């Protein structure tokens, strides 16, 4: 029996697909060389709901919670969303430009959306993430590296310093490095965060 392809038109088959309308074409001849890791929860610190998926698909009822009011009219997306359980959802084909990074720069290049994959982790900036998320993220990053010329994975905090702080101090970069073993992208230099 022939082996089923893992990718189809930029969609990763192990992920649950929920197509977002919030994307656009990448600039011509632009290689995807960066993965950007974010964190999000809606409302902040609340997990297991569908508010993030609704936000990325323009179906969020902004009157459902006071903190949603500031999201009214916002059109954002990420390529992937990794739930606390480790389940992966995909909203935008990796062949397309998702709207996740905003004003950003990495290694002298602006507009990281043009040449990156955006991965949101269900979590709160600064808090710890679940081991299942780190394992799923490592699996996803290895798959991305096999499919695209991704050289590095960094946090939103690295490409938009002073403006963004996610995934934050609770994200275990060392744990991700261990989970990646071989075959993953380079990660940011990790300083000891000892008290």
Task: Tell me whether residue 128 is in a domain.
Answer: yes
The pLDDT value recorded for residue 182 is 74
The pLDDT value recorded for residue 3 is 56
Angle of helix 131-147 versus helix 173-180 axis, rounded to 10: 60
Task: Tell me whether residue 190 is in a domain.
Answer: no
Task: Tell me whether residue 34 is in a domain.
Answer: yes
Token reading at 128: 């710890």
Residue with tokens 């995909």: 90
Task: Tell me whether residue 186 is in a domain.
Answer: no
Query: Between the CA atoms of 77, 64, 72 and 69, what dihedral angle is there, to the nearest 10 degrees?
Result: -120
The pLDDT value recorded for residue 184 is 86
The pLDDT value recorded for residue 178 is 94
The pLDDT value recorded for residue 1 is 46
Which tens digits make up the pLDDT trace of 68-122?
Answer: 999 999 999 999 999 999 999 999 999 999 999 999 999 999 999 999 999 999 9
Task: Tell me whether residue 189 is in a domain.
Answer: no
Task: Tell me whether residue 74 is in a domain.
Answer: yes
pLDDT at 5 over 90: no
Q: Please tell me the pTM assigned to this model.
A: 0.94
Domain with 71 in it? 7-21+28-180
**Is 120 a residue of the active site?**
yes
Which residue is catalytic, options 5, 120, 122, 191? 120
In SS3 terms, 36-81 reads as EEEEECCCCCCCCCCHHHHHHCCCCCCCCCHHHHHHCCCCCCCCEE
Confidence of residue 4 (pLDDT cuts 50, 70, 90): low
Confidence of residue 193 (pLDDT cuts 50, 70, 90): very low
Q: Work out the average pLDDT over 172-179.
A: 94
Which tens digits make up the pLDDT trace of 18-58?
Answer: 999 999 999 999 999 999 999 999 999 999 899 999 999 99
The pLDDT value recorded for residue 190 is 63
CA-angle at 142, arms to 159 and 139, nearest 5°? 100
**Rounded to the nearest 5°, which phi and psi values hold at 158?**
-80, -30
What span, in angstroms and rounded, lies between the C-alpha atoms of 40 and 170? 13
What span, in angstroms and rounded, lies between the C-alpha atoms of 20 and 27? 19
Token reading at 133: 């998320």
Task: Tell me whether residue 167 is in a domain.
Answer: yes
Confidence of residue 194 (pLDDT cuts 50, 70, 90): very low
Which has the higher per-residue pLDDT, 13 or 4?
13
Strands (E) across the chain are located at 7-8, 11-12, 16-17, 23-25, 34-40, 80-82, 88-90, 96-98, 105-106, 109-110, 116-122, 152-155
Task: Tell me whether residue 12 is in a domain.
Answer: yes
Query: What CATH number corresponds to the domain at position 42?
Result: 3.40.80.10
3-state secondary structure at position 169: coil
Cα(first)–Cα(last) distance of the chain, in Å?
55
The pLDDT value recorded for residue 64 is 94
151 within 8 A of 185, measured Cβ to Cβ: yes
Number of independent structural domains in the chain? 1
Token reading at 185: 């992208």
Q: Percentage of the chain with pLDDT > 90? A: 90
């Amino acid at each position: 029996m022939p082996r089923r392809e893992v990718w189809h038109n930029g969609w990763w088959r192990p992920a649950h697909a929920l197509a977002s309308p919030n994307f656009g074409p990448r600039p011509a001849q632009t290689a995807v060389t960066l993965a950007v890791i974010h964190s999000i929860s809606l409302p902040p610190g609340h997990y297991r709901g569908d508010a993030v998926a609704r936000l990325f698909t323009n179906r969020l009822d902004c009157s459902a919670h006071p903190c949603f009011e500031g999201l009214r009219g916002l059109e954002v997306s990420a390529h992937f969303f990794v739930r606390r359980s480790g389940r992966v959802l995909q909203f935008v084909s990796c062949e397309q430009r998702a709207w996740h990074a905003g004003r950003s720069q990495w290694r002298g290049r602006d507009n990281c959306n043009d040449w990156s994959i955006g991965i949101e982790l269900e979590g709160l900036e600064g808090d710890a993430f679940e081991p299942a998320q780190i394992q799923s993220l490592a699996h996803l990053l290895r798959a991305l590296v096999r499919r695209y010329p991704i050289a590095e994975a960094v946090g939103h905090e690295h490409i938009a310093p002073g403006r963004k702080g996610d995934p934050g101090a609770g994200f275990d970069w060392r744990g991700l490095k261990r989970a990646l073993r071989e075959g993953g992208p380079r990660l940011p230099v990790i300083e000891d965060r000892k008290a």
